[in-house]
Chains A and B, each alone.
Chain A
């Protein structure tokens, strides 16, 4: 549970979700991860530390580079996150069903 809480806390930040999304496409160095953001490398490194502490990403040593990749827990956390997103979208359309039903009632009421 504690691990899961740390994972969701780590995912609460849009920059960190974007970093995970980037890593979903494959291993990347800090420089590559920093490129899409207008952020300094230390700022990105701080986000990477949070993700690493939450067990979502893994660091590898390759000479002077420290490329990161998604950990198994990171894949699972992203999956759960995406399932939550899907639910939010489904909620919109369920609400729209209600709005449409109300419009029909209104139109019928007018005809009478």
Chain B
């Protein structure tokens, strides 16, 4: 039931789905409350998020900073565009590696699914090259994962 799916769509989208046992209210809160975000949005083993700022309101900003305790770190900044409490979050974000990556537009929906939640996160990148580069550089953040082979690789 907790199986995650990740697929590319068209030239510029990445769609991730995941089911959770908790209701949409809780999953939404875990995506907007900095104290909760800091507990799970960490990527590979060994990374922590010492800085987590999240102003969950339209026009609000967020900033996540990660560190691996061995002197490596990086951060993401973004802005919230739309928030429908317990239902939907629309935001833009970019990663600093250290140069900023092109803006990633992310639309995350939380739909009731029995007693749980079906989360659907749809990312839109400016072009296919950016998407390919993002899939290939996402390790540090552990978010842009893909099992799906990059188009044209097979």
Q: Which residues of A contact B (CB under 8 A)?
A: 14, 17-18, 20-22, 24-26, 36, 38, 70, 75, 78-79, 81-101, 103-104
Asked if A93 and B97 sit within 8 Å, CB to CB, the answer is: no
Asked if B147 and A96 sit within 8 Å, CB to CB, the answer is: no
Asked if A89 and B99 sit within 8 Å, CB to CB, the answer is: no
B85 to chain A, nearest CB (A): 16
Give chain B residues whose Cβ lies under 8 Å from the Cβ of A70.
153
**Bound complex: CA A19 to CA B154 (Å):** 17
Main secondary structure, interface of A, reads: helix
B114 located at the interface, meaning its Cβ lies under 8 Å from any Cβ of chain A in the complex: no
Residue of B27, B41, B133 near A100 (CB, 8 A) is B27
Given A85-B145, A96-B30: 13 more A-B contacts, CB < 8 Å: A18-B133, A21-B129, A24-B136, A24-B153, A79-B153, A82-B145, A85-B144, A86-B146, A89-B4, A89-B144, A90-B4, A91-B43, A91-B142
Give chain B residues whose Cβ lies under 8 Å from the Cβ of A98.
40
Asked if A99 and B30 sit within 8 Å, CB to CB, the answer is: yes
Within 8 A of A (CB), among B36-54: 36, 39-45
Asked if A82 and B147 sit within 8 Å, CB to CB, the answer is: yes
Give chain A residues whose Cβ lies under 8 Å from the Cβ of B99.
38
Main secondary structure, interface of B, reads: loop
Within 8 A of A (CB), among B13-49: 16, 18, 20-22, 26-27, 29-30, 36, 39-45
B143 located at the interface, meaning its Cβ lies under 8 Å from any Cβ of chain A in the complex: yes
Asked if A92 and B42 sit within 8 Å, CB to CB, the answer is: yes
Asked if B133 and A85 sit within 8 Å, CB to CB, the answer is: no
Asked if A18 and B145 sit within 8 Å, CB to CB, the answer is: no
Asked if B26 and A25 sit within 8 Å, CB to CB, the answer is: no
Asked if B6 and A81 sit within 8 Å, CB to CB, the answer is: no
Asked if A20 and B142 sit within 8 Å, CB to CB, the answer is: no
Asked if A95 and B39 sit within 8 Å, CB to CB, the answer is: yes
Given contacts A21-B135, A21-B136, contact A97 B21 (CB under 8 A): yes
Asked if B143 and A92 sit within 8 Å, CB to CB, the answer is: yes
- Chain A's closest residue to B47 (CB) is A88
B49 to chain A, nearest CB (A): 11
B128 located at the interface, meaning its Cβ lies under 8 Å from any Cβ of chain A in the complex: yes
Residue of A84, A89, A101 near B16 (CB, 8 A) is A89
Asked if A86 and B152 sit within 8 Å, CB to CB, the answer is: no
Given contacts A78-B136, A103-B22, contact A89 B153 (CB under 8 A): no
